[in-house]
Every structure is written in structure tokens, then in C-alpha cells.
């Protein structure tokens, strides 16, 4: 039956996610921007929290960890490489490690670029990928620490997951990401359809995450840098994928 998923809006435009295994009553939180809405979401469902899985060290992803640990006793798991700049970790992980939530196993993926220690969590049985500020809905995170080559390799790792995977990313940036995407591929019909859908969802005050990986493959310019049509559209026909990605990222920085 898979893990239940709850998307929680936090701060200005952040998202945290709760996953819950109904059979065992075990739950995990992915990222903790702030405590109050997360503790409220747990209380509303009568759920207990065993683990907090942290994607990266930025304060808008860890600011609520201490308060949530104090309230729930949850164990904190994060990247070994970022131990020195994360809240105290009960478990430090690297790529290939697994995280059990009830009866399900999540896999740790190292996805550097936004930060060098950024990790993602993939739960294949439930088809969930928690990508935070690596792959985002319609976009990708800014390259604060990694080179374009590093981020491109991370995105390829995520692009290899099954198309029906739900991409659970860290921010409500989708509309501005898609507006930028339309400057790269103005004639992409899947992109135009997504812009209409996302606009309607935002008008209703709804979150635009999670998103389907297959839809990201069809509309997210940062995943599409390898396509000849995209290369040609920005005047880089025949150039290497990572260089095309770098140019698209540079244009987004100026957008």
C-alpha cells in the first residue's frame, strides 16, 4: 500500500514532507524549515515521528530540527560530509546507504551542486524522491557550491529514476521556473500545458509539488539540456550536454 505522504508548507515558500507507514505507525520527516506547522501536521493525524531526514545544511531546511527533536524524540539523519554544519546527527549517511521507514527502504543519493553535501532520498516501492534544492519542480537549485558539471551529473542520477516517481522538492518556485523554461522552449506544448495547470493551482492556493518525474523530463529545461532541439534553440547545437546545462543555468540566474 506504500507510504502515506503529506506536503507541509513552511516559512515563505519552503516545503517539508512527512511520510508514514500505516502498518507499523512509523514516520519520517524530510527537512525541517520550522517546527510549528510540522508539529501541527503530526498532531492532526496522531502520528509519531521517529526520524528527521535532512537534505542539506541551509537554515531554511534545518531551522526547525532542534525544536522537533525536543518535541518528538526523533533521530536526525544527514550527510556525513556535512556533519560539521548540520544539527547533531544520530546517523551520518553516504550515497548507497538505506533508510528504513516502517516496512520500506529509502536509498540515499548524493546530489551535489546546490551544496556539495546535498543528498536526496528515493523510496522506490512508494515511488517517492525527496530532492529538496537539487531537482526542483520546473527547475533546479542555484549552484552555490558545485560547478555546472557537478549539478548536471546529479540531475542525471535523478533523471534515471522511473518516470512515475513523485519528485518532492523544497520550494514553491514552480511558476517562475516555468516562465523561465518558456524562454528556452516557447513552443513546447507540454510546457505550455503545465504553465496553465500550475497557474490554476496557484490561483487556488494549492502547492505545485510533488511533481511527476516524467513531467519534469518533458518540461524542465535543466533536464532537457541534452536534447538536440534544446541545444539548437539556444544556439548551442552539437555542444556538450553539461555546457548546455551551464548556459541554461546562467540564463536562469539572470532571468
Question: Could you give the angle at the alpha carbon of 133 between the alpha carbons of 127 and 138, nearest 5°?
Answer: 70
What lies within 8 Å, CB to CB, of 39 at 6+ separation is: 67, 68, 71, 72
Contact residues for 12 (Cβ-Cβ < 8 A; gap 6+): none
Q: At residue 150, what are phi and psi to the nearest 5 degrees?
A: -65, -45
Q: Active-site residue among 20, 57, 110, 114? A: 114
Is 133 among the residues that bind Zn ion (CB under 5 A)? yes
Residue 172: contacted member of Zn ion, Fe ion, none (CB under 5 to 8 Å, by partner type):
none
Q: Which of 21, 31, 133, 242 is catalytic?
A: 133
Inter-residue contact 245 to 225 (CB < 8 Å): yes
Is residue 252 a contact residue for Zn ion (CB under 5 A)?
no
User: Is 26 or 172 the residue whose CB approaches Fe ion more closely?
Assistant: 172
Residue whose CB is less far from Fe ion, 29 or 230: 29
> Taking CB under 5 A as the criterion, which residues in 7-66 touch Zn ion?
58
Cα 168 → chain centroid: 5
Per the annotation, the verdict on 110 as an active-site residue is no
Q: Out of 20, 21, 31, 61, pick the active-site residue.
A: 61
- Selected from 60, 185, 215, 216, the binder of Fe ion by CB under 5 A is 60
Q: Which of residues 157-186 bind Fe ion (CB under 5 A)?
A: 170
Does 31 engage in binding with Fe ion (CB under 5 A)? no
The yes-or-no answer on residue 61 being catalytic is: yes
Binding residue count for Fe ion, defined by CB under 5 A: 3
Active-site annotation holds for 114: yes
Q: Which is nearer to Fe ion, 61 or 224 (CB)?
A: 61
DSSP string, 190-242: HHHHHHHHHHHHHHTT----SEEHHHHHHH-TTT-TTSHHHHHHTT-TT--HH
Distances (CA, A) of 70 to 9, 54, 64, 76, 212: 21, 16, 10, 11, 34
Contact status: 82 vs Zn ion (CB under 5 A): no
| Residue placing its CB nearer to Zn ion in the complex, 133 or 172 | 133
Backbone angles phi, psi at 5, to 5 degrees: -125, 130
* 17 contacts 168 by C-beta, under 8 angstroms: yes
- 90 included as an active-site residue: no
Nearest CB to Zn ion, comparing residues 30 and 191: 30
Active site annotation includes 56: yes
CB of 73 to Fe ion, least distance (A): 26
List residues bridging with 171 in a β-sheet: 14
Residues that bind Zn ion (CB under 5 A): 58, 133
Residues annotated as catalytic (active site), given as ranges: 56, 58, 60-61, 114, 133, 171
Amino acid at each position: 500500500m506504500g507510504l502515506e505522504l503529506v506536503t507541509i508548507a513552511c516559512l515563505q515558500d519552503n516545503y517539508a514532507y512527512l511520510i508514514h507507514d500505516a502498518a507499523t505507525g512509523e514516520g519520517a520527516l524530510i527537512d525541517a524549515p520550522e517546527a510549528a506547522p510540522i508539529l501541527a501536521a503530526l498532531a492532526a493525524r496522531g502520528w509519531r515521528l521517529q526520524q528527521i531526514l535532512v537534505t542539506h545544511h541551509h537554515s531554511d531546511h534545518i531551522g526547525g530540527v532542534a525544536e522537533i527533536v525536543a518535541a518528538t524524540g526523533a533521530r536526525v539523519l544527514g550527510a556525513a560530509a556535512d556533519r560539521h554544519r548540520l544539527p547533531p546527527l544520530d546517523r551520518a549517511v553516504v550515497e548507497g546507504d538505506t533508510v528504513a521507514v516502517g516496512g520500506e527502504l529509502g536509498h540515499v543519493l548524493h546530489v551535489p551542486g546546490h551544496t556539495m553535501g546535498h543528498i536526496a532520498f528515493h523510496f522506490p516501492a512508494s515511488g517517492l524522491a525527496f530532492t529538496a534544492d537539487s531537482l526542483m519542480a520546473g527547475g533546479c537549485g542555484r549552484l552555490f557550491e558545485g560547478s555546472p558539471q557537478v549539478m548536471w551529473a546529479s540531475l542525471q542520477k535523478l533523471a534515471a529514476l522511473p518516470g512515475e516517481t513523485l519528485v518532492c522538492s523544497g520550494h514553491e518556485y514552480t511558476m517562475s521556473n516555468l516562465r523561465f523554461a518558456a524562454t528556452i522552449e516557447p513552443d513546447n506544448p507540454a510546457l505550455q500545458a503545465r504553465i496553465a495547470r500550475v497557474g490554476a493551482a496557484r490561483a487556488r492556493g494549492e502547492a505545485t509539488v510533488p511533481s511527476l518525474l516524467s513531467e519534469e523530463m518533458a518540461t524542465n529545461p535543466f533536464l532537457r539540456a541534452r536534447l538536440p532541439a534544446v541545444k539548437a534553440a539556444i544556439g548551442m547545437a552539437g555542444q556538450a550536454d553539461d555546457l548546455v546545462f551551464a548556459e541554461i543555468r546562467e540564463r536562469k540566474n539572470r532571468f
